[in-house]
A and B are shown apart, each in its own frame.
Chain A
């Protein structure tokens, strides 16, 4: 490992070092002043974010071809670090309220973000695997952070067992790919196949198993069963972070690995992806209809959104231009989805009472009259999820549909549009309850969380009026392929 290797992945190195020090420093921070841990954690993320922003435009391969710095990875790094930064104010007061304020929350969060960043740099299947484990293990702990609450412990165990299970698929897939091509670096795999040295069938089986592994992480149907229970049981700020950042990391892995290493397989994989995208969109949206708990509703909504992402991924590999469209639309959608999701979870956090009370949909009744700003924000998020114009959600979905139609998958886009209509039904129900039912909702006075919600709502609307710069960033975040 040379100095240039370290400088290439400097944002990651700094973040890992900071997390370790934070874990240590937290021992000396008295229980009454855990706010300092939060501030230090935020500072670490900010420093790393600054370094990541300096990497814009840089293209470099490091660590003997195991890591890569490119626009694609940098874009994702910014997304991950920003997600971490949002997860801190969401949790700060919440942890105190729920009497689970422990400093490890912040260190674990930072470790998880570090794992995601490693994913963005990964240029080798072994590193991909390491990254998935590094981002997941802290989350297994975080999901159970509300112990001894039973549903939190259940969430943790379930997430861990199914996570381990999916890692098994992933690892076996990697082994088969290595067996097929004698390579585990992404470029080596493509080159071996191009040179005719590989075993195509073995590669296909390996790639399929890797797809299953990633399918668990993005919560695509039929690998989604863990998601509703885990999302409901885990502390709300953790769930918010998971539903944005973990999904983004899994998408990063999916795009990076399949576009770089398996472009030649697209002919075989496309029908599988088509089916996966279709049942995820249908399943997520249909199952969401009958939910009465806001956390479960958002869980199914996040499953459905994974389907939309997969829909845009289906045409991958047919040409360089298509790949560029797939990547740009996915990146753009992730930002739109991330803003909307974090905002919605901020509203959930401010509604949640001790023992998980206050989270039934009916508890939102009357919110429109009593807390107009919070209700307005939530309404904006629901409209954005539905894809109604003048929200970021509209542009995000529009771009995904555009990619699918341009790739020739009009019928898949139609499924996506019809399921969006289904989703309108349950998102509107939230709006109906907030504005058209009478009630006396109780909202926790937590200004950080409320600020997060309102800022996210403003961003969802204002960025929708001028989406140009963000679109440009997503379109220029290219992936290094040679």
Chain B
């Protein structure tokens, strides 16, 4: 009998300990509440590093597996199955890395109902970690749906003017997507008499006949989350109305759950259908890249601009995934991390500007470089990283995706997808630089801006921490690629061989 707690269970559910402690602290002791939440997420981050130390990067299959019986539903078991590979490990690290920073960023931004805010944030973290670690399909679905609830409240209670509309739209859109996934999960679970991921992988032929329908069912849920054009309409609303810390998690982690779903479930469970639909997905991805960039360019609202840039950036990720070469897929996964960092940082900066000026209007800023040089300098690096400047993280991801998608072995069958997508890189440079110019360069046009305070120590720590990783990935991405490569090679080989690609 082994009484020690499994590392994956520990890292997933540790934030619940913080929730329990928070529940006991009276609501007026706001600083105590903030500290408990922050320390909890820091410890969770440390725990995820411990998982990293236990992880063997040389193996491409799932490791540190946990498998316990949980519920027996009329003869088909739902098990407490978790496991980690290079893909999920990176996502877990991204989650546990961003959550404490997001909490830190809400230190002074959230002044009312702090206790509820922090409890929701910790619950959110449990849900997200569960999504990335769960291997039983029903367990995955439970975590997937569960993440809806805290985010719904974060937007609905702590958001801006149109928060209720945005919160309900977010909830209904995501739930609409999950419905077909649930039906798909039920169907394959009952056909194969199991919901466990690895057993299902081995018994794929049971549902081979309807795999295209299943791909669409699962795919809809994930595509809404990504979001893939034209399913992105919930995203600008949710982002604009969410509190800054919520936007960070929404962009940084929640959107990655969609990409992760494609990589974890759609590709390996339905490889034939994945290859069949790859051109369609790539077309939508490329449209998303260009459309997102064009719409971002025309925004007058800073936060909306960043939100639409997400649509564009995640188009690259989707293109990389469905090009299905080893290079493009690892580029896509790295780009998921990059987007979490760069866009997360952009939302943090937008939040900091909002805290100072209480507006997201581009026209309200201008010439800030003179007033807040540190904030401006940091923003410049973040903007350049989001643009994909060599030496910073964004370049590594986008370049690898595009190079991998150009390969003749790509599942798309044509280099044109990558060719057109490359335009998106240029467009990104245009709208991001225009944004930077409008906010930070030129003369100070508004009186209120002349007295704007520069970054305080707390804010410097938040953004500085992210900058370190931005430079790390940009200059020495090998560490991350080494972590990923065996998993990706394994995934790509399985999918390509099942679908009859060389």
Residues of A near any B CB (own CB < 8 A)? 324-325, 328-329, 369, 383, 388-390, 394-395, 398-399, 401-403, 405-406, 410, 413-414, 417-418, 420-421, 424-425, 428, 432, 435-436, 467-468, 471-472, 475
Q: How far is the CA of A401 from the CA of B176 in the complex (A)?
A: 16
A406–B72 CB distance below 8 A:
no
Task: Report the nearest B residue to A437, measured CB to CB.
Answer: B164
Enumerate 14 A-B pairs (CB-CB under 8 Å) in ascending A order: A389-B142, A394-B145, A398-B182, A401-B183, A401-B186, A405-B190, A417-B180, A421-B172, A421-B175, A424-B171, A435-B153, A436-B164, A467-B71, A468-B71
Residue in B175, B176, B187 whose CB lies within 8 Å of A410: B187
Residue in A329, A383, A413, A468 whose CB lies within 8 Å of B74: A329
Residue in A398, A418, A436 whose CB lies within 8 Å of B73: A398
Q: How far is the CA of A334 from the CA of B411 in the complex (A)?
A: 49
Residue in A369, A424, A475 whose CB lies within 8 Å of B175: A424
SS of A interface (majority): helix
* Nearest chain A CB to B214 CB, angstrom units: 12
B187–A405 CB distance below 8 A:
yes
Residue in B71, B113, B186 whose CB lies within 8 Å of A405: B186
User: Is B149 engaged at the interface, CB distance under 8 Å to the other chain?
Assistant: yes
Q: Which residues of B contact A329 (CB under 8 A)?
A: 74
Q: Which residues of A contact B71 (CB under 8 A)?
A: 395, 467-468, 471
Task: Report the nearest B residue to A420, measured CB to CB.
Answer: B179
Q: How far is the CA of A420 from the CA of B183 in the complex (A)?
A: 13
Q: How far is the CA of A329 from the CA of B223 in the complex (A)?
A: 32
* Nearest chain A CB to B309 CB, angstrom units: 29
User: Is B168 engaged at the interface, CB distance under 8 Å to the other chain?
Assistant: yes
User: Is B481 engaged at the interface, CB distance under 8 Å to the other chain?
Assistant: no
The contact string, 1 if C-beta is below 8 Å from chain A, for chain B 27-56, is 000000000000000000000000000000
User: Is B480 engaged at the interface, CB distance under 8 Å to the other chain?
Assistant: no
B186–A413 CB distance below 8 A:
yes
Chain A CB count within 10 A is highest, among B73, B141, B148, B156, for B73
Residue in A325, A388, A417, A420 whose CB lies within 8 Å of B149: A388
Q: Which residues of B contact A414 (CB under 8 A)?
A: 179-180, 183
User: Is B146 engaged at the interface, CB distance under 8 Å to the other chain?
Assistant: yes
Q: With contacts A399-B73, A435-B157, A436-B157 known, is A389 near B145, CB below 8 A?
A: yes
Q: With contacts A402-B190, A436-B156, A475-B74 known, is A410 near B183, CB below 8 A?
A: yes
A424–B187 CB distance below 8 A:
no
Q: How far is the CA of A406 from the CA of B188 in the complex (A)?
A: 11
Q: Which residues of A contact B225 (CB under 8 A)?
A: none
Closest 10 A-B residue pairs measured CB to CB?
A: A389-B142, A417-B179, A389-B145, A405-B186, A436-B156, A389-B146, A406-B190, A436-B164, A325-B74, A421-B176
A471–B73 CB distance below 8 A:
yes
User: Is B163 engaged at the interface, CB distance under 8 Å to the other chain?
Assistant: yes
Q: Which residues of B contact A417 (CB under 8 A)?
A: 179-180, 182-183
Q: Which residues of A contact B142 (CB under 8 A)?
A: 389-390, 394
A405–B145 CB distance below 8 A:
no
Residues of B near any A CB (own CB < 8 A)? 70-74, 76, 113, 138, 141-143, 145-146, 148-149, 152-153, 156-157, 163-164, 167-168, 171-172, 175-176, 179-180, 182-183, 186-187, 190
B179–A421 CB distance below 8 A:
yes
Task: Report the nearest B residue to A433, measured CB to CB.
Answer: B164
Q: Which residues of A contact B183 (CB under 8 A)?
A: 401, 405, 410, 413-414, 417
* Nearest chain B CB to A167 CB, angstrom units: 35
Q: How far is the CA of A383 from the CA of B152 in the complex (A)?
A: 12
Q: How far is the CA of A283 from the CA of B142 in the complex (A)?
A: 28
Q: Which residues of B contact A435 (CB under 8 A)?
A: 153, 156-157
A432–B164 CB distance below 8 A:
yes
Residue in B76, B113, B168, B175 whose CB lies within 8 Å of A432: B168
Q: Which residues of A contact B72 (CB under 8 A)?
A: 468, 471-472
* Nearest chain A CB to B94 CB, angstrom units: 23
Q: Which residues of A contact B74 (CB under 8 A)?
A: 324-325, 328-329, 399, 402-403, 406, 475
* Nearest chain A CB to B108 CB, angstrom units: 22
* Nearest chain B CB to A392 CB, angstrom units: 12
Chain B CB count within 10 A is highest, among A325, A390, A425, for A390
* Nearest chain A CB to B12 CB, angstrom units: 14
Q: Which residues of A contact B73 (CB under 8 A)?
A: 398-399, 402, 471
Q: Which residues of A contact B113 (CB under 8 A)?
A: 369
Q: Which residues of A contact B164 (CB under 8 A)?
A: 432, 436
Q: How far is the CA of A421 from the CA of B145 in the complex (A)?
A: 13
Q: How far is the CA of A266 from the CA of B305 in the complex (A)?
A: 58
Q: Which residues of B contact A432 (CB under 8 A)?
A: 156, 164, 167-168
Q: With contacts A389-B146, A475-B74 known, is A428 near B168, CB below 8 A?
A: yes
Q: Which residues of B contact A475 (CB under 8 A)?
A: 74
A401–B149 CB distance below 8 A:
no
Q: Which residues of B contact A418 (CB under 8 A)?
A: 179
Q: Which residues of A contact B141 (CB under 8 A)?
A: 389
Q: Which residues of B contact A325 (CB under 8 A)?
A: 74
* Nearest chain B CB to A83 CB, angstrom units: 25
Q: Which residues of A contact B172 (CB under 8 A)?
A: 421, 424-425, 428
* Nearest chain B CB to A368 CB, angstrom units: 8
Task: Report the nearest B residue to A389, measured CB to CB.
Answer: B142
Q: Which residues of A contact B190 (CB under 8 A)?
A: 402, 405-406
Q: Which residues of A contact B167 (CB under 8 A)?
A: 432, 436
In addition to A402-B76, A402-B190, 8 A-B residue pairs with Cβ atoms within 8 Å of each other are A389-B142, A398-B138, A399-B74, A413-B183, A425-B168, A425-B172, A471-B72, A472-B72
* Nearest chain B CB to A57 CB, angstrom units: 20
Q: Which residues of B contact A398 (CB under 8 A)?
A: 73, 138, 182, 186
Chain B CB count within 10 A is highest, among A394, A413, A414, A436, for A436
* Nearest chain B CB to A300 CB, angstrom units: 19
* Nearest chain B CB to A395 CB, angstrom units: 8
Q: Which residues of B contact A395 (CB under 8 A)?
A: 71
B163–A436 CB distance below 8 A:
yes
Q: Which residues of A contact B146 (CB under 8 A)?
A: 388-390
Chain B CB count within 10 A is highest, among A328, A401, A406, A471, for A406
Q: Which residues of A contact B149 (CB under 8 A)?
A: 383, 388
Q: Which residues of A contact B148 (CB under 8 A)?
A: 388
Q: Which residues of A contact B138 (CB under 8 A)?
A: 398
* Nearest chain A CB to B421 CB, angstrom units: 34
